[in-house]
Structure 1
């Protein structure tokens, strides 16, 4: 039996001049499925020419976070059942939504409060006005499951200062609110206890002040990010040409942070690391978000249809939960010289755009 009165997984409503989109799957930290992507897309299409809606706000229901990412359990089930066409449909719809948010004709405001990772970055990171709080935890953790950052994550990582893009892309490390502003994943820091007042101001403030000016009334300066203190050793190591050389440089530094980072990288999927390093560097030189999404789509569909590590990573972390993945190849030392080339050059059956 299903409950026909169950609340929709995206709450769509207008409040004053504000069109509100709230991800409503708090039991799963608002993880995205295809239906949710469809509801978000449909609402944005409807509001594009609606003169009553002047600003769009995207946030998440519940205290835990805006969005923990895509529904990777569902992704695993599709791939093992041989339904790669359904997986392609999900990614194509998701990336089209990411591009729509970035190119939208009206200001889109995102509230990345709490956990905002993976697919959540695709919703929050390309908005016109991106807000974080003291509770924010942002990450692109795809290498933890033998995968590679997508949803335009490589576009953002490639534009972070120095080699922080490679560092956060490869390690899947978590940024706090101050880190996210520093690295270009967010624009403003607003304390969480002021978000309701901010929402009300965006909806009902009657003067012609734009949303960016309204947000500034609530913006505060967070405690400084600690990342600048680590930039020298991160830049030195993560500017290396290959994953193996990055690890070697980290080991040679001999500090606790560098050694811990080397050990983390050696525990992750070698192929995912190599593909991610290649992807972030390619995205850094690309002309647009759409170009980065196309490059990500090639790599993602290569993992879905040609390489076993994605299925194995999800199995080990989320299905069987034995935390003992069998990567192919098993170690960074076994990687081919240009291990990212095959994924970079892959041609999916259907183009993204």
Structure 2
């Protein structure tokens, strides 16, 4: 497969269709795909015949499982992470561009939608989930922190639902994705082909009502009492204490999950979410996330988490530090430190393509 094959682009009638096309890798994003998506959005924006952009994933398993983390593992070990930082710079710009895209951007969030998959879908103007949707930001499980604007999205979820999803990485179905503000509409998976075809002939407001249905009931609404109480605590340690003492079986399960995650990632994630609530627009949050992501490249847990989950698959990461008590305030503060000349900045119009003066390295993470 060539880089051009990794994102299929076609125009039919009034719609441009973008298809992530790495089904054997569950459409995991790499740098070439991000650049290809950006170029396709530019072409569609400039084409007066195109009135709608639709993004979907090839294969039966989902839209996108996130970034190509095998490559980030190799990049950090062999190159110090420079290619990963370059990828994130362009990816986060793409996320902001999607959020401000001037034409309807329809994201089919069918099947697995995780990490970077959330970034190319949940910032869109029309976000569709199905009964097969499994939406998650599972980064704390690999020693990373929710990015691609994930801390922005989760900070806007009702109550403390976003904190729960960020710390545990729990996947949610259609009903809960709608509740948390990660999606807008439910369409049964079997009706997606008809929806896609009709968008070539008619505008979104005319087509969508013919396909939207009632989503299956979610699970989170019934747990709001303990979720909102437990996750409102000021520290991860206190959150765990409240979860373990709440008396709810689901709360104890959440605590057990959190205890398997990277202690450093947990503390940085909580701080990032709380800060995101006060940062304002998506661009400011993406700038913060870029600082955090770059900091993970020189921290031990990201490489170790990928090793345990993807490379060796022993599911036994050895985090460093190993406990929450060992992660100090200064350890957390390091992830938010300014990057100087390497900062990600959205001083220009976020809808503009990436600055051509920026070096682009077509190496996936």
Q: What interval of TM-score do these two structures reach, taking the shorter chain for normalisation?
A: over 0.9
Q: 3-state DSSP class of the match of 2:17?
A: strand
Q: Is the 8 A contact 1:274 1:339 kept in 2?
A: no
Q: 3-state DSSP class of the match of 2:200?
A: helix
Q: Distance in 2 between matches of 1:319 and 1:336?
A: 29
2:209 to 206, 213, 216: 216
Q: 3-state DSSP class of the match of 1:267?
A: coil
Q: Is the 8 A contact 1:298 1:348 kept in 2?
A: no
Q: Distance in 2 between matches of 1:325 and 1:349?
A: 34
Is 1:313 equivalent to 2:310 in the alignment? no
User: Residues 109-124 of structure 1: matches in 2 within 5 Å?
Assistant: 109-124=106-121
Q: Is the 8 A contact 1:309 1:328 kept in 2?
A: yes
Q: Distance in 2 between matches of 1:40 and 1:348?
A: 28
1:277 to 256, 270, 281: 270
Is 1:105 equivalent to 2:98 in the alignment? no
Q: Distance in 2 between matches of 1:212 and 1:148?
A: 36
What's the counterpart of residue 65 of structure 1?
62
Q: Kindly tell me: are residues 338 and 241 of structure 1, through their superposed partners in 2, closer, same or farther at Cα, counting changes over 3 Å? A: farther
What's the RMSD between the two structures over aligned residues? 1.5
What's the counterpart of residue 227 of structure 1?
220
Q: Distance in 2 between matches of 1:83 and 1:342?
A: 18
Normalising by structure 1, we get a TM-score of: 0.95
What's the counterpart of residue 323 of structure 1?
315
Q: Is the 8 A contact 1:302 1:348 kept in 2?
A: no
Q: Distance in 1 between matches of 2:262 and 2:309?
A: 12
Q: Distance in 2 between matches of 1:16 and 1:47?
A: 12
Q: Which has the higher contact order (CA 8 A, sep 6+)?
A: 2
Q: Distance in 1 between matches of 2:236 and 2:339?
A: 24
What's the counterpart of residue 292 of structure 2?
299
Q: Distance in 1 between matches of 2:44 and 2:15?
A: 10
1:204 to 169, 192, 201: 201
Query: Which stretch of the first structure deviates more once superposed, 196-205 or 182-191?
Result: 196-205
Q: Is the 8 A contact 1:297 1:352 kept in 2?
A: yes
Q: Is the 8 A contact 2:80 2:297 kept in 1?
A: no
Q: Is the 8 A contact 1:158 1:165 kept in 2?
A: yes
Q: Kindly tell me: are residues 350 and 338 of structure 1, through their superposed partners in 2, closer, same or farther at Cα, counting changes over 3 Å? A: closer
What's the counterpart of residue 289 of structure 1?
282
Q: Is the 8 A contact 1:146 1:272 kept in 2?
A: yes
What's the counterpart of residue 341 of structure 1?
333
- Deviation string for 1:135-155 (max 9, x for gaps)? 000000000101100000011
Q: Kindly tell me: are residues 299 and 66 of structure 1, through their superposed partners in 2, closer, same or farther at Cα, counting changes over 3 Å? A: same
What's the counterpart of residue 349 of structure 2?
none
Alpha-carbon deviation of 1:335?
2.3
Is 1:88 equivalent to 2:81 in the alignment? no
What's the counterpart of residue 29 of structure 2?
32
1:243 to 224, 236, 250: 236
What's the counterpart of residue 259 of structure 1?
252
Structure 1 unaligned runs (5+)? none
Alpha-carbon deviation of 1:328?
1.2
Q: Distance in 2 between matches of 1:328 and 1:285?
A: 30
Query: Which stretch of the first structure deviates more once superposed, 250-259 or 94-103?
Result: 250-259
Q: 3-state DSSP class of the match of 2:146?
A: coil
Normalising by structure 2, we get a TM-score of: 0.91
How many residue pairs were aligned? Answer: 345
What's the counterpart of residue 182 of structure 2?
185
Q: Distance in 2 between matches of 1:69 and 1:55?
A: 24
